[in-house]
Amino acid sequence: MFELPHIDLKNKVSAEEWQVRVDLAACYRLVEFFGWGDLIYTHISAKVPGTEHYLVNAFGLTFDEVTASNLVKVDLQGNIQDETPFDINPAGFTIHSAVHEVRKDAHCVLHLHTNETIAVSTLKEGLLPLSQYSCFSLNSIAHHGYEGLAVNHEEKARLKEDLGTNNHLLLPNHGALTVGPTVGDAFMRMYDLQRACEIQLMIQSTGQEAIQVDPKIVEGISKQANVVHSGSTGGQKSWPAMLRKAYRLDPGFAE
């Protein structure tokens, strides 16, 4: 059986970078646990604090093989910054670099190809206000049309414009993307969006007329969520619990 190269960076990077590595590796493991992965494809990236460098998964590893140490550090052009036996998927990082270039608040970018986000994003009506989960996303959602595999750098300008200041992006025929100031925020935004898509498809599969949430209620959900989270973000409140879950599943991600 092929053994992965052993890499140990715990005492070779700053404490701040190591924490982001642990959070990001945990996010990959949780995505795999929830069944949102896509073999070795799709990506989650996170900024290294105090730098213009980013961490992303090594191309060729499944998400349950990602560890804090084998994440690859790159610049915005996708150039690898540290010695590593791994490469990255250049097509995958095209999307992430486009977002990181213009959204300095987006320290984490999470892009997935789940069946449910592909299905809902490809419907002409898109995401509908059919559940509480959808309300969390609808206040900050955008769309970017499919242009094929993300290897055309000219697409980056259109992706940036389409995303704008939104935190959720539906990609028709392709999937979805969320951003956040932390790994936890990007993860929880994707969790809500994924659940919203799952529920919408279940409701639509009945063929019955559905009750949609009133637009005024949708507009007020963000303020209500702020009260629930006591001024913190959903990611900040939820992430410690998610991190504990990742440790219970397999503490090896933090190596």
> 48 near 108, Cβ under 8 Å?
no
Please tell me whether residue 107 adopts helix, strand or coil conformation.
coil
Distance between first and last Cα of the chain: 21
pLDDT, tens digit only, all 255 positions of the chain? 567 877 888 888 999 999 999 999 999 999 999 999 999 888 999 999 999 899 999 999 999 999 999 999 998 888 889 888 888 887 777 788 888 888 889 999 999 999 999 999 999 999 999 998 998 899 889 998 887 666 567 677 888 888 899 999 999 999 999 999 999 999 999 999 999 999 999 999 999 999 999 888 888 776 665 555 445 566 788 899 999 999 999 999 999
| Three-state secondary structure call for residue 227 | helix
Q: What is the pTM of this model?
A: 0.89
Residue that has been written with the tokens 């992006």 in this structure: 169
| Domains (range + CATH), the chain | 15-249 (3.40.225.10)
The residue count for the chain: 255
Give the per-residue pLDDT at 4: 80
Indicate the DSSP class of residue 251: G
58: left (phi over 0), alpha (psi -120 to 50) or beta: beta
* Residue of 25, 23, 21 lying closest to 53 (CA atoms): 21
So what's the pLDDT on residue 157?
A: 82
SS3 of residue 63 by DSSP: helix
The angle formed by the CA atoms of residues 196, 202 and 203, to the nearest 5 degrees, is 90
Instruction: State the sign of the Cα–Cα–Cα–Cα dihedral 30, 34, 38, 39.
Output: positive
Q: Smallest Cα–Cα separation from 110: which of 192, 28, 38, 53?
A: 28
Determine the Cα–Cα distance for residues 129 and 199; give it in Å rounded to an integer. Answer: 10
